[in-house]
Structure 1
């Protein structure tokens, strides 16, 4: 990888850092923290970010249609011919947690060097850091060439329709997903498979219990076996070292029984939603075989056990290689920002939008904030915000410089 006139990654980091105004960065983070964007209510935040990009003279600024009043906010900066680099993250958050005491969830207050706000770590702050970073690269005057695009997407916590819509319409050569990584480099994340298991019993009035087979009782046997599952799939050692050896599986939701106030009866159907979190490379078939093994054990416990299994949803895991260009660029960027420290490479247990677009675009995951998220009094330090912004900007400068030199 080359840089302009032999400029070092550290020198690039210093040039873009000089263009980042901490007070303006913090103010913009505070503003987005004051805009609720719980899943289904992303519209106001999307409009705010689109307007911000317009004021910063981004081009091709648009509210890309995804769902009614839930658009993506997109824009870009063109530096000349070359490849297209995308910085992306999601607009939506989970609902507000109870128990806030330091301040209110949407205050955006700056207290003792920390900005407080619901969803600031997942991932409102990263969206701001990415936009400010793009502007810093342009203001630096570095001789780079290519396009850097911003995609703030909706529906991450739904069906990832925002990311799907963006990468269906826009091309990309490299991408940074700004999910929370504690400002460390994540190569990928686990996938998510949902299976619905419907236990089949026999209904009867409660007064005629001996004639019935309670589907809830059958489900209880399945739940015990599913919860006890310890699936250790056959995966490469380096993948197991990143994610851990076990594919996690949990019966997360149970839909069964009769509604309050209705007629008395013993239920003949109960549905268990099994949430499976496989490492990248673990197939649906391998997880299904483990579910079948658990249900066979339930049958051994209860001879009347009967159930149907349906694969309800698949979101694939994602994993970049340690030597992939997008990873080495981010490693160089973060190392330069940290004064030559070699960054570590890690992975996430949660599900990112790369489940839907990672197969199309080489992507690395990097963002401010870490576990746990959505707790009361969620906050991020100003230092973390500045470091993330500098790293995004340095990454962009390196990625586009390597094309222009």
Structure 2
């Protein structure tokens, strides 16, 4: 296997250049900018390396359903297939998303410059997760150039729209619905999200994203007693959440390793708030969105009931309290066993490379839910070289040393499973 490691070292300059190229394509989602440019780049790269490639574009009539934040822009899934010495063998699917979140504030580097400074490559997507896509390409290329024989098939998939989640989506969810990633066709899936070179992702928290709107009664600002102030009602509701629910959540923890480290707790975050139209009018509406993250021991039904209990308590305290409640994204947690074949191979390879393997779940959700929960493929892990803590941050970056180490590890995993 020294041949594989040596090939990754020889490919180092090309690996770094390819990640720079990808970072310089601003595939911001929402709404889904420059997807076509990235599609052409990735497809051309696979074509040059001998893959049989196809593009699965989401039909225009399905865009509003599968990409509701996409403003009607096209959604492309790139699929590349490469066979070993013999096609008789296992099929391993490598999966990563090419969309990135908006830039935000606080950057001191060009977000789409791909600058290399002091051994770090900077840019939006450098860690989350164009580094994973680069690792996918060059792990396979190192295996191919090593001269070692392997059997079966490797499928490269580069997908959009992971960052905007959804109960369904135009990326991995769509590939599952179309049968590209299915239990009868694929034996193993490795999703190259950033879990660091020694991290093995075996799941993620559950989630409920929702919206609560308090309904009041409009009145002149000089005569507040004639109205029902929805903003004040919402403030009281949020106070009750802080008194009666948040302390319970802060006492719930998991014994599983979670990335980032501080995310071992059950959480509820209110992320946006909007109330009223202008000064001098008692507001008749106030709206908040919330983000509830569930530990594997919790259920969607239980988490929903806890929020409902606070709404009921608010109603008991003030009979004028009226509200609307809706959810726009829910997912159960994902948790696969540490002893599934791909996880055991990953553990062995990481140890062989001198690192201490660490099984993890992530605080967020990712496309593993589609593979495990929808496609029913349990033999699925997250393995990618970036750091979760760098995701969505200003001055996002990846250590080039981690990029190369992660590529070596993935290449060795592939060989062990396909040799």
TM-score by length of 2: 0.84
1:305-337 CA-partner distances (Å, limit 9, x unpaired): 33233333212321111111121121122222x
Which of 7, 30, 33 matches 2:23?
A: 33
Contact 1:232/1:245, CA 8 A, preserved across alignment: no
- Alignment-derived partner of residue 241 in structure 1: 256
- Alignment-derived partner of residue 16 in structure 1: 4
1:323 matched to 2:311: no
Q: Distance in 2 between matches of 1:168 and 1:71?
A: 15
Indicate how the Cα distance of structure 1 residues 82 and 285 shifts in structure 2: closer, same or farther if over 3 A, else same. same
- Alignment-derived partner of residue 69 in structure 1: 74
Q: Distance in 2 between matches of 1:358 and 1:275?
A: 22
Mean alpha-carbon deviation: is it higher for 351-360 or for 214-223? Answer: 351-360
Q: Distance in 2 between matches of 1:282 and 1:88?
A: 28
Which of 193, 197, 203 matches 1:179?
A: 193
- Alignment-derived partner of residue 41 in structure 2: 48
Alpha-carbon shift at residue 178 of structure 1 (Å): 1.0
Mean alpha-carbon deviation: is it higher for 292-301 or for 90-99? Answer: 292-301
Q: Distance in 2 between matches of 1:34 and 1:174?
A: 31
Alpha-carbon shift at residue 295 of structure 1 (Å): 2.3
1:214 matched to 2:229: yes
Contact 1:227/1:249, CA 8 A, preserved across alignment: no
- Alignment-derived partner of residue 284 in structure 1: 300
Alpha-carbon shift at residue 275 of structure 1 (Å): 0.9
**1:122 aligns to what SS in structure 2?**
coil
Which of 204, 224, 227 matches 2:239?
A: 224
> How big is the alpha-carbon RMSD for the aligned residues of Structure 1 and Structure 2?
2.4
Q: Distance in 2 between matches of 1:43 and 1:315?
A: 29
Alpha-carbon shift at residue 251 of structure 1 (Å): 1.8
Alpha-carbon shift at residue 201 of structure 1 (Å): 1.8
Contact 1:90/1:123, CA 8 A, preserved across alignment: yes
Which of 270, 282, 292 matches 2:286?
A: 270
- Alignment-derived partner of residue 4 in structure 1: none
Q: Distance in 2 between matches of 1:286 and 1:168?
A: 29
- Alignment-derived partner of residue 6 in structure 1: none
**2:347 aligns to what SS in structure 1?**
helix
- Alignment-derived partner of residue 70 in structure 2: none
Which of 138, 142, 150 matches 1:136?
A: 142
- Alignment-derived partner of residue 103 in structure 2: 96
1:278-327 CA-partner distances (Å, limit 9, x unpaired): 12352221001210222244345545333233333212321111111121
Contact 1:85/1:174, CA 8 A, preserved across alignment: yes
Gaps of 5+ in 2: 64-72
- Alignment-derived partner of residue 9 in structure 1: none
Gaps of 5+ in 1: 1-11
Contact 1:231/1:248, CA 8 A, preserved across alignment: no
1:373 matched to 2:363: no
Q: Distance in 2 between matches of 1:267 and 1:192?
A: 31
1:166 matched to 2:158: no
1:383 matched to 2:401: yes
1:4-39 CA-partner distances (Å, limit 9, x unpaired): xxxxxxxx3x23222221111111111112111111
For this pair of structures, how many residues does the alignment match?
380
**2:172 aligns to what SS in structure 1?**
helix
**1:82 aligns to what SS in structure 2?**
strand
Contact 2:94/2:191, CA 8 A, preserved across alignment: yes
